[in-house]
Amino acid sequence: MKKNGILNSEIAKVLADLGHTDQIVIADAGLPIPKGVAKIDLALSLQDPPFQKILALLLQEMEVESAILADEIQQMNVPQLKSIHALMLDRPLTFVSHEAFKEQTKEAKVIIRTGEATPYSNIILEAGVIF
């Protein structure tokens, strides 16, 4: 039995299988899931689990090279954006329209759905390499 880190077996498997530039999405409760993209649904109720908790856990376990966010978060959810900046440290962030963001999710290995219920609380994480 695994004793620390992410215990969810589906997430642990996805992280172990990632290669350089592969992408995963952490989504709020409302982001549409494209056909053909795997979904790991963690949502228990609105705001549970929160987006920031899942992002923080993934950043501990995954080598993240960069991330993509919807441009709209910069005006519509400043508190969430501040939290993302704090967690991402100096990793590059790219902003695209929400429509372009949804298109990009079609390329993700998986979308992890949270219970987050604040606008534009979604992020695409791009895997880096550890060497």
In the predicted structure, residue 13 carries a pLDDT above the cut 90:
yes
In the predicted structure, residue 128 carries a pLDDT above the cut 90:
yes
Compute the distance between CA of residue 131 and CA of residue 118 in angstroms, rounded to an integer: 36
State the pLDDT at residue 1: 84
| Strand partners of residue 123 | 26
Contact 112/3 with Cβ under 8 angstroms? no
Overall size of the chain counted in residues = 131
39-80 residue pLDDT tens: 999 999 999 999 999 999 999 999 999 999 999 999 999 999
25/3: higher pLDDT: 25
> Mind listing the domains of the chain with CATH numbers?
9-127 (3.40.1650.10)
State the pLDDT at residue 9: 96
- Binding residue numbers for substrate: 28, 98, 120-122
Task: Pull the structure tokens for residue 73.
Answer: 């978060």
In the residue annotation, 20 being an active-site residue is answered as: yes
81-124 residue pLDDT tens: 999 999 999 999 999 999 999 999 999 999 999 999 999 999 99
- Binding residue numbers: 28, 98, 120-122
Q: Give the SS3 label for residue 91.
A: coil
Compute the distance between CA of residue 95 and CA of residue 89 in angstroms, rounded to an integer: 16
Annotated catalytic residue, options 20, 82, 85, 106: 20
